[in-house]
Amino acid sequence: MLHLLSLGIYYAAICIVLPLLYFLIAALYNLTLHPLRSYPGPKLWAATRLFWARSLQSGYYHQKLHSLHQEYGPVVRIAPNELVYIDAQAWRDIYVTRHGGHHMEKNTVWGKSPPGTPQSIVSTEEDAHLRNRRALTGAFSEHAVSEHGGVVEGYVDLMVRKLSEMAVGGNGEAVVDMVDWFNFLTFDISGHLSFGEGFGSVENGKAHPWVEISCSFGKGLAMVATINFFSPLDKLLRYAIPAKMLEKMEYHKELVRAKLQQRLSMDGEKKHDYVASILEYNKEKGDKISYEEMRVNMTVLIFAGAETTSSALAAILNQLIKNPVALQKLESEIRSAFQHESNITIASVAHLEYLNAVIEEGIRMGPPAAIGPLPRVVPLGGAEICGQWVPAGTHVSINQYPAFRSPTNFTRPDEFVPERFIEGFQGDKLDVFEPFLVGRHKCLGQKLAWAEMRITLARLLYSFDVRPAGGYEVPDYGGQETYIFWEKKPLMISLHLRN
């Protein structure tokens, strides 16, 4: 009996002590012998990935990175095998340049789908990515975007009309949460361009369940990525994902499936949506992008375009209402440029200099991809990044929030000064400002996003005086949580109908 008991204790000790010992030795190795040992950064983060994981899950990873860069400089080791940068040179070295003939590929932990399942446009498999990108390019050409222009203008017009009706019903004033309305707008546009019809959100002034689900998708992704890092524990940790989150991700997939089926059954009508572009590619190239492949891509596309653009609009408006001087300058630019609201089109707003600067400055202070683009992995043979040697297998990235808010890159980084994009501050390093990424994964929807942002802001400020709603304190945009996407607080705006 005694013997059995001591045997039990003995085995228990082995089960606890051995992993602990392994953990300690690994941590010690990471600190003393690891090839990245001489890179600056907090020692605990360099010893084990646990600290990174905890920070990512806290929602304040973007702020933590910002303070780490301020403490340790332009490159920081934030995990045993990961470096982060804020230097403009890193854009080229990580996302554009080939090293020994190889591009840096995406870190699979962030996009690992089970083997055998189709890879999406944001796939970590580069061959699949190229094929995807080609099939979709038709939908994002200059020509296509000008055709999509009518769709965008139509939804923006509908939104302005709905808000005007609300204002008329409220003695000339409507108080609304513009985060909601930007979501209604960009999701309707994205739905329409993907599947040939919107979700009716702007029309009804109500979010389709899709909006909320898509916005929590980022949180799910961050959770899965964190868990994937802890192989082989990931098999168990997966059960730590809240059932509700999994349910939502499943529902999102189900909705895409239904929408896609509906869209495919409409074929024959001439449409200029993403599905049409894919079908066209299939026909021309004799390639066969399967239904499953389309479904996977649509799942990504629907929020790649909607969530990002609505976040950008929210960040810009947030800054504008806190900066009355800039707001007034923008109002007079827009109001003096057009005689009538019907003169405001995607083409006619494109050249408004101050509007463009306001958009850039708003995105600088609140980049939709705050803690992205996703890390890439240094290929076999290693690479030189910002003049320093980095061994193969290291995860490397620029994170936009810390890069765009860094005092080493921007003068008065926490102030909203659109003029910096016109005359410029001496010493500002505008070449670090790449919110849409560079290289072969750069945003496909950049032109579309610009068109949406310009016309939405122009139409809004032409028709309304916008002010913070009475008694409402405008949140510090960068102080909100982010998990891949921003967890945006309400943006309560009082809209006064002009004339």
Which residues in this chain contact ligand NAG in the complex, by CB under 6 A? 118-121, 128, 131-132, 135-136, 278, 289, 293-294, 296-297, 339-340, 342-343, 407-411, 427-429
> Which residue number, 46 or 315, has a Cβ lying nearer to ligand HEM?
315
> Which residue number, 118 or 170, has a Cβ lying nearer to ligand NAG?
118
> Which residue number, 180 or 273, has a Cβ lying nearer to ligand NAG?
273
Kindly tell me which residue out of 109, 135, 256, 312 binds ligand HEM, with binding defined by CB under 6 A: 312
Is there binding between residue 436 and ligand HEM (CB under 6 A)?
Answer: yes
Is there binding between residue 334 and ligand HEM (CB under 6 A)?
Answer: no
Nearest to 247 by CA among 259, 235, 237, 255: 255
Residue 389 token pair: 């040697």
Q: What is the closest distance, in whole angstroms, from the C-beta atom of residue 110 to ligand HEM in the complex?
A: 8
Element (H, E) at 140: helix 126-140
> Which residue number, 36 or 122, has a Cβ lying nearer to ligand NAG?
122
> Which residue number, 312 or 497, has a Cβ lying nearer to ligand HEM?
312
Residue span binding ligand HEM (CB under 6 A) among the ranges 19-27, 250-258, 300-308, 346-354:
300-308
d(CA 19, CA 260): 48
Is there binding between residue 144 and ligand HEM (CB under 6 A)?
Answer: no
Is there binding between residue 218 and ligand HEM (CB under 6 A)?
Answer: no
Residue 15 token pair: 């089960």
- The conformation of residue 238, written as its DSSP 8-state character, comes to G
79 binds, options ligand HEM, ligand NAG, none, Cβ within 5 to 8 A by partner type:
none
38 binds, options ligand HEM, ligand NAG, none, Cβ within 5 to 8 A by partner type:
none
103 binds, options ligand NAG, ligand HEM, none, Cβ within 5 to 8 A by partner type:
none
Is there binding between residue 221 and ligand HEM (CB under 6 A)?
Answer: no
Kindly tell me which residue out of 191, 218, 445, 478 binds ligand HEM, with binding defined by CB under 6 A: 445
> Which residue number, 228 or 408, has a Cβ lying nearer to ligand NAG?
408
31 binds, options ligand NAG, ligand HEM, none, Cβ within 5 to 8 A by partner type:
none
Is there binding between residue 135 and ligand HEM (CB under 6 A)?
Answer: no
Nearest to 52 by CA among 107, 103, 102, 131: 107
Per-residue CA distances from 399 to 30, 50, 67, 347, 409 (Å): 23, 19, 13, 32, 13
Instruction: Consult the annotation and say whether 443 binds a ligand.
Output: yes
Q: What is the closest distance, in whole angstroms, from the C-beta atom of residue 437 to ligand HEM in the complex?
A: 4
| Contacts (CB under 6 A) with ligand HEM, residues 452-481 | none
Judge whether 464 and 170 are in contact, CB under 8 Å. Answer: no
Cα 360–Cα 364–Cα 369 angle in degrees, nearest 5? 110
Backbone angles phi, psi at 486, to 5 degrees: -75, 140
Q: What is the closest distance, in whole angstroms, from the C-beta atom of residue 132 to ligand NAG in the complex?
A: 4
Is there binding between residue 191 and ligand HEM (CB under 6 A)?
Answer: no
Spell out a b/e string for 440-476, using b for 16 or more CB atoms within 10 Å of the CB, else e: ebebbbebbbbbbbbbbbbbbbbbbebbbbeebebee
With CB under 6 A, what is the number of residues at the site for ligand HEM?
A: 23
The pattern of x and - marking residues 103 through 132 that bind ligand HEM according to CB under 6 A reads ------------------xx----------
Beta bridge partners of 398: 85
Nearest to 285 by CA among 120, 136, 135: 135
d(CA 311, CA 322): 17
> Which residue number, 154 or 170, has a Cβ lying nearer to ligand HEM?
154
d(CA 89, CA 385): 8
Q: What is the closest distance, in whole angstroms, from the C-beta atom of residue 4 to ligand HEM in the complex?
A: 56
Q: What is the closest distance, in whole angstroms, from the C-beta atom of residue 324 to ligand NAG in the complex?
A: 26
Residue 139 token pair: 């939908």
> Which residue number, 179 or 255, has a Cβ lying nearer to ligand NAG?
255
Q: Which residue is nearest to ligand HEM (CB)?
A: 445
Spell out a b/e string for 235-261, using b for 16 or more CB atoms within 10 Å of the CB, else e: eebeeeeeeebeebbeebeebbeebbe
Tell me, what amino acid is at 148?
Answer: H
DSSP string, 318-387: HHHHH-HHHHHHHHHHHHHH-SSGGG--HHHHTT-HHHHHHHHHHHHHS-SSTT-SPPEEPPTT-EEETT
- The conformation of residue 412, written as its DSSP 8-state character, comes to S
Per-residue CA distances from 338 to 20, 155, 329 (Å): 69, 20, 15
> Which residue number, 105 or 203, has a Cβ lying nearer to ligand HEM?
105
d(CA 444, CA 436): 9
| Contacts (CB under 6 A) with ligand HEM, residues 357-386 | 368-369, 372-374
Is there binding between residue 449 and ligand HEM (CB under 6 A)?
Answer: yes
Q: What is the closest distance, in whole angstroms, from the C-beta atom of residue 149 to ligand NAG in the complex?
A: 16
Is there binding between residue 308 and ligand HEM (CB under 6 A)?
Answer: yes
Kindly tell me which residue out of 385, 437, 457, 495 binds ligand HEM, with binding defined by CB under 6 A: 437
Judge whether 31 and 47 are in contact, CB under 8 Å. Answer: yes
Binding site for ligand HEM (CB under 6 A): 121-122, 133, 301, 304-305, 308-309, 312, 368-369, 372-374, 435-437, 441, 443-445, 448-449
- Which residues fall in the annotated binding site for heme? 443
